[in-house]
Homo-oligomer: A and B are copies of this chain.
Amino acid sequence: MSKSIEVKRQIISKCLEVFRKDGYYNTGIKKLAEACEIKQSLFYYYFESKEHLLEEILKAVHGYFARKVFNLAYQEEKSVHQRLEEMVEITREVFMRAEGGCIMANTVLEMVQEQPQFIPVIRGFFDDWIAANAHLLKERYVEKVAIEKAEQAVQDVEGGIMLMRLYNDPKYFFKALERGRRLLD
């Protein structure tokens, strides 16, 4: 892999951390450059604008979740119980490592109204998350109910992440995961 591509990947990774923690509008190019240990102007070699940078970050996050999390739901060689168990566990690990919660939800609440160009990628992320949950739940429930419970599980987790940040206590997030884990019991 060329150095240029690798540098770009690292910029995306580091800027994801900063945006997730501090928010998009409250983060200037200067802060991003310091976090990445590069000069400000170099951003405009790798990205057209700050908005395009965010868009690439969101797409990278969607890809990461698709590969590492949502994918687990479709490993048909394993039991649905085991697949659900693994999805819950990986979801827990990913969000516990991610200071600042969920960049997708943060972006919805911070800027969807003013910057609708991010809606498609964020919807794609949640569509896939809900579909992965529903795929497992169809084993036990009719499709309509499976989808409803899949949506509810996502709502519960995202609400739990919000309360986790507010109270600085992971119990809200953990309980949401636990309720998700029990959906096939």
Residues on A lying within 8 angstroms of B by beta carbon are 21-23, 25-26, 100-101, 105-106, 108-114, 119, 122-123, 126, 148, 151-152, 154-160, 162-163, 165-167, 172, 175-176, 179
Contact = CB atoms under 8 A, between A and B. Distances in A.
A175 B151 contact: yes
Contacts of A179: 152
Contacts of A126: 163, 166-167
Contacts of A154: 159, 163
B123 A166 contact: yes
B113 A22 contact: yes
What secondary structure prevails in chain A residues at the interface with B?
helix
9 contacts: A22-B114, A23-B114, A25-B25, A25-B26, A25-B110, A152-B175, A155-B162, A155-B172, A158-B163
A79 to B, nearest CB: 27
A155 B159 contact: yes
B110 A106 contact: yes
Contact of A175 (B123, B148, B165, B176): B148
Nearest to A22: B114
